[in-house]
Chains A and B, each alone.
Chain A
Amino acid sequence: MMDQIQESRPVMAAKVALAKTVAAASGRAGHSGTTLPGGVIAAIDKGVIGRVSRWLPEGSVLVSATNGKTTTNAMIADILAREGMKVARNREGANLAAGVATALLKDASLTGRPRSDIGLFEVDEFALPEVAKQCSPRTVLLMNLFRDQLDRYGELEHIAERWRSAVMSLGSGTQAIFNADDPLVAAMATLRQDRTLCYGIEDTAAGGKVMQHASDSKYCTVCGNPFEYEIFYMGHLGKYLCPACGYSRPSPAIYAEKLAFDGMRGSRFDLVTPECTVSIKLPLPGLYNVYNALAAAACAFSLGIGPASVKDGLAAFSAAFGRVEQLVIEGKKVVMLLVKNPAGFNEVVRTLLTEPGKKSLLMALNDRIADGRDVSWIWDVDLEVVAPEIESAVTGGTRAGEMAMRLKYAGVDQSLLKVEPDLREALRQALRRTGEKETLYVLPTYTAMLALRQAIHQDFTTDRKLGDLVWK
């Protein structure tokens, strides 16, 4: 058996060396080198993820979701670091099989043995079955499924079907963690006999009685009849029950209660596990980040990590790349909030509403492949609720006009709108329109965020060293 799995040392050494060479070369060529090396190796060797990851002493953790996987992954990494663990991680965006392979190969010695203790990988929703199959993970964390870029991912139901098959193929030793509040995800827990763990929110005051417009999965995952919701937390996430067949949200073993929000500054909640209750202070705003923190905590719990590291890791957490990044540009406070899909955008809108007063905005809508070529989704965002609070909005990016039009139809007076497709110029104008004591909220799609970081780096003075923040 062994000689089938373990290839000869010279061959592995050649592959690792090739990966490192490609990584260095692609770095020099101006690419980030996050996917290309693994892609080169993966193209010649399909089993590389499994062959390297199996030597990780603490195994691998896979994190997947439509929303929050990058932030949650970073939170888990911080918690693991507090336990003194050395973590092999893929960088955000590099979350297909090739990105995971790259991270493993970069971490490996020339003999193909990892240097780290544990692998922690965010995995694209579509790529999950393939990656899970290759690496036999110790833990799989499945957080949520929302409608996303339909032109890239196809229907939500197709992604759900892929996840179901991935869950069914997991080995008996894998711990699978599910978000109890997402009916589409929670129903997957019933596909396994044991080693499942559910987390959720138990605080009716943190939710609402009305579903947001961009909501999916309104119908029972078992019998197809409409769910009844006692409470909606975020999109279709909430406490649900099917009156027809009796299927209901599973009781979460790990949950957050007594949520309290303090605008952009963050939130507090009590984290309850089967062993103890810990009060958590999270320096990130919004309910969506409570979900991210809760998912990270559930993952840490499954890995046997104590509450002190969870509490401290979360309290000291700073936002991942473009997600609630706060900086000062030309003396003005700027908050950057990445928006990728209706559910995430709705949460950003909800978070904006927790800050008092009128808002100055820069909304940057690109339609490149990574953003989704189809910009229809902005019409599923409940911008009507924030429209009365908008004092000024500059729209930028390849679809600046479409974004401005969306704001017009949401009820924003046209005199408050300015269309400027060029993002450098849009940022300049948005800063000019923001008062000395005010905050500029920048809401970009993914590639617009990258372009804006570049613009900030080139054109403006800021309070932060942007070297590590700029797309290289």
Chain B
Amino acid sequence: MEIRIAHLYPALLNIYADRGNIICLAKNCQWRGIDVVVDEFDLGKKPDWEAYDFFYLGGGQDRDQLLVCRDLAAMGSGLMEAVEAGAVLLAVCGGYQLLGEFYRTAAGETMEGVGLFRAYTVAGQRRCIGNVALESDMEGRRLTLAGFENHSGKTYLRDGQQPLGRVVAGFGNNAEDGTEGIIHKNAIGTYLHGPLLPKNALLTHHLLEKSLKHRYGPDAVLTAVEHALEDEALDVAVRLARR
């Protein structure tokens, strides 16, 4: 079996050690005997959208996100079509914002987003920084997730959109409505930045299983591996967020 991962803009969107998520996906494939291909696509390089099961976008500096924003617009709708066809996508922090409808800066200028997520972001006054924990309903399965957030943009979901989870401790999408992130089909946007996947082993499992199903059909099953160390790190992160 094989899973193909497209890492979009790794040179520009890598501010919070986003590489940790890629390392995590690759290792989890290896441990299960699944072949894994990770291809990187920087500015001006367009993937063959149908060839990949998993797309990843990290966070970047403001200046770099602007460059990516223009490039993404020029890429056309390939990424959206891939997601509509069931491909998995994880977009973190800046990547999450870029895939929304728009970003409105403090000066009132509007930057058009891809519109893959039915959500929009406006510049906030206060930076949301700290450990964050949430309760997530992943297709009927309750998951506790934790990570670190650092963003000034406030993201609002359109009516009827499903958040990744409910904030237990921390700020989340906008520090107002208790939501964190978004789920649309197999695409997830979140402010839990950088290496979110290693300590959220059940989320990793979920995303990889969806990737397998994307490639091999609905009967494909991902075998389990032990994740005691991961759970221990998660428990500590949840505890720190609650403090």
A155 to B94, CA, bound (A): 13
Contact partner of A376 (CB less than 8 A), chosen from B129, B148, B232, is B148
Contact partner of A151 (CB less than 8 A), chosen from B11, B23, B150, is B150
Contact B24 A373 (CB under 8 A): no
Chain B residues closer than 8 Å to A213, beta-carbon distance = 19
Please choose the segment from A61-69, A312-320, A399-407 that sits at the chain B interface, where 4 or more of its residues have CB less than 8 A away.
A399-407
Chain B residues closer than 8 Å to A147, beta-carbon distance = 15
A18 within 8 A of partner (CB): no
A457 within 8 A of partner (CB): no
| Contact count A vs B, C-beta below 8 Å | 84
Contact B15 A155 (CB under 8 A): yes
- Least Cβ–Cβ distance between B150 and chain A, in angstroms: 6
A84 to B122, CA, bound (A): 59
Chain B residues closer than 8 Å to A332, beta-carbon distance = none
The 8 A CB mask of B176-196 against A (1 = contact, 0 = none) is 000000000000000001110
Please choose the segment from A50-58, A163-171, A287-295, A377-385 that sits at the chain B interface, where 4 or more of its residues have CB less than 8 A away.
A377-385
A155 to B63, CA, bound (A): 10
B49 within 8 A of partner (CB): no
A419 within 8 A of partner (CB): yes
Contact partner of B233 (CB less than 8 A), chosen from A156, A379, A402, A417, is A402
A380 to B18, CA, bound (A): 8
A224 to B11, CA, bound (A): 13
Contact B233 A376 (CB under 8 A): no
Which residues 374-418 in A have Cβ within 8 Å of B in the complex? 374-380, 398-399, 401-402, 404-406, 408-409, 414, 417
Contact B195 A379 (CB under 8 A): yes
Contact B229 A157 (CB under 8 A): no
A409 to B195, CA, bound (A): 12
Chain B residues closer than 8 Å to A404, beta-carbon distance = 229, 233
How many residues on chain B are close to A (CB under 8 Å)? 31
Quick one: closest B residue to A421, CB to CB? B236
Which residues 32-76 in B have Cβ within 8 Å of A in the complex? 61-63, 67
- Least Cβ–Cβ distance between B199 and chain A, in angstroms: 6
Chain A residues closer than 8 Å to B20, beta-carbon distance = 376, 379-380, 406, 409
A402 to B17, CA, bound (A): 14
A406 to B148, CA, bound (A): 16
Contact B24 A409 (CB under 8 A): yes
Quick one: closest B residue to A372, CB to CB? B148
- Least Cβ–Cβ distance between A252 and chain B, in angstroms: 27
Shortest 8 CB-CB contacts between residues of A and residues of B: A379-B20, A376-B194, A379-B17, A401-B233, A380-B17, A379-B195, A401-B232, A376-B17
**B interface residues with partner A (beta carbon < 8 Å):** 11, 15-17, 19-20, 23-24, 27, 61-63, 67, 129-131, 148, 150, 193-195, 198-199, 229-230, 232-233, 235-237, 240
**A interface residues with partner B (beta carbon < 8 Å):** 147, 150-151, 155-157, 213-214, 218, 224, 226, 342, 367, 373-380, 398-399, 401-402, 404-406, 408-409, 414, 417, 419
